[in-house]
Amino acid sequence: MLLRFINKNWNRGENQLAKEYSVIGKSKVKVDGLEKVLGTTKFASDYSLPDMLYGRVFRSTVPHATVKKLYLEKARALDGVEAVLDYHDIPGKNRFGIIIKDEPCLVDDKIRRYGDALAVVAAKSPEILEEALALIEVDYDEIEPIFTFERALEADAPIIHGTTNIHQVKHLECGNVDEAFKKCDIIIENVYSTHRLSHMFIEPDAGIAYYDDDGLMTVVASTQNPHYDRNEVASLLGLPYNQVRVIQAATGGAFGGKLDISVQCHCALLTYHTRKPVKMVRSRSESTMVSAKRHPMTIEAKTGATRDGMLMAMEVKICSDTGAYASYGPAVITRAMVHCTGPYSIPNVRADATFVYTNNPMSGAFRGFGVPQVAVCHEGQMNALARKIGMDPVEIRIRNAHQIGSKLTTGQILENSVGFIETLEKAREKAAEVLS
């Protein structure tokens, strides 16, 4: 009786909360709306502190090379320059990465992409900073750059990391795919390609580092990932985590593109050596050059069905270029594999994915983590099957759609919140209404 009473009142409380706090159909005041409209929101580039220095990065102008000699003396001698640092000046670990630690703060072995960071400079004014950067020279020993998936896998291709250019390989299989294809009345085979995309967030990467009143290394940055940033800055400087604080400034767009380290480590390193606040603001071209991109993919798909449109089997091969560094590559390849069949029940599936390193821009987090790319494939296949069979494209989707009780390729059983069929039916009704 007591348990029944608790459950009854708990459910009543939940319903009341849902009614009071629901935002659907209501006009709500955006929490930061007034600040944005008045222009008082403080973004990372708006911060300024007394005795502040300006920082920039000297970057590579070739995509693949070893550095024979980096000439920093002239820049260091320029009046108004307070620090010119290379990898020798890093007190801690010179590798970071959200999943795999494969990207250097400052290049110590070789350049792997156009725009790799070779040195950082701090000066008293932006003008002096520009002059100092122009005084830095570098001698390269260039290596053949790898720009395609195919070249990366060739036996004589230069290796970008470790002993192989293969970044990740994944395999997913359920059922008996080969036998299922033999029983199919219709088989559709196609190749789909999606290209590399840049986030183009409105606010370029920016941040400021300083020591607070308690001597704590503090970094204010335009970021999506302050806890991760804190760990990477601490690792770079050889400090315990409790000696570093990262504050997320108001962030003017990101979409996954500010999950990786941008200016945080460079700012902090310059502040560590100068003991002064250092602000860095990337130009639009610099931000676009070195920030992560959406993974380009080539997807080969083979889908089999019966004459009445029931899906029987699917085979998918995914190839992708993760660029010079891993970033979120391991997460993207996994999600692409898991979602390659889309919201459809297919009893027999075989999927293989290979991601490679190249000397192209780094690919990483971008809304959907690989799911939008494979959606191009599975929806293309559904349309192709509908045309081949002569079936309405919405009807073939409803016939094969996930619903409560459906079993996914991974073995997961969908137990609730499966609204695909209802959504399709409502969309079809609305389309008919609008087009009538």
Rg (CA), the chain: 26
pTM: 0.90
List, in sequence order, the alpha helices (H) in 136-222: 149-153, 177-182
Q: State pLDDT tens for residues 360-413.
A: 999 999 999 999 999 999 999 999 999 999 999 999 999 999 999 999 999 999
Strand ranges (DSSP E) for 100-147?
A: 117-123, 137-142
pLDDT of residue 5: 47
Alpha carbons 42 and 221: distance in angstroms, whole number = 11
Q: Is 364 helix (H, G, I), strand (E, B) or coil?
A: coil
Q: State pLDDT tens for residues 282-304.
A: 999 999 999 999 999 999 999 99
What does the block give as tokens for 248?
């997320």
- Domain(s) labelled CATH 3.30.365.10 in the chain stretch across 149-198+293-435
pLDDT of residue 22: 72
| Answer CATH for 149-198+293-435 from 3.90.1150.10, 3.30.1330.30, 3.30.365.10, 3.20.20.70 | 3.30.365.10
Alpha carbons 365 and 293: distance in angstroms, whole number = 7
Q: Name the phi and psi angles at 52, rounded to 5.
A: -75, 140
Alpha carbons 85 and 106: distance in angstroms, whole number = 9
What does the block give as tokens for 29?
């005041």
pLDDT of residue 32: 87
Q: In this structure, are residues 360 and 147 in contact, taking their beta carbons and an 8 Å threshold?
A: yes
For residue 362, the 8-state DSSP code is P
From 99, 146, 48, select the one nearest 261 (Cα to Cα): 99
Burial 259-287 (b: 16+ CB within 10 A, else e): bbbbbbbbbbbbbbbbebbbbbbbeeebb
Which residues of the chain are modeled with pLDDT < 70? 1-21
For residue 103, the 8-state DSSP code is B
pLDDT of residue 30: 85
End-to-end CA distance of the chain: 56
- Domain(s) labelled CATH 3.90.1170.50 in the chain stretch across 53-143+200-290
Parallel/antiparallel/unpaired status of strands 278-281 and 206-211: antiparallel
pLDDT of residue 24: 74
Q: In this structure, are residues 296 and 363 in contact, taking their beta carbons and an 8 Å threshold?
A: yes
- For 53-143+200-290, which CATH superfamily applies? Aldehyde oxidase/xanthine dehydrogenase, a/b hammerhead (3.90.1170.50)
Give 264's Cβ-side CA count (13 Å radius): 34
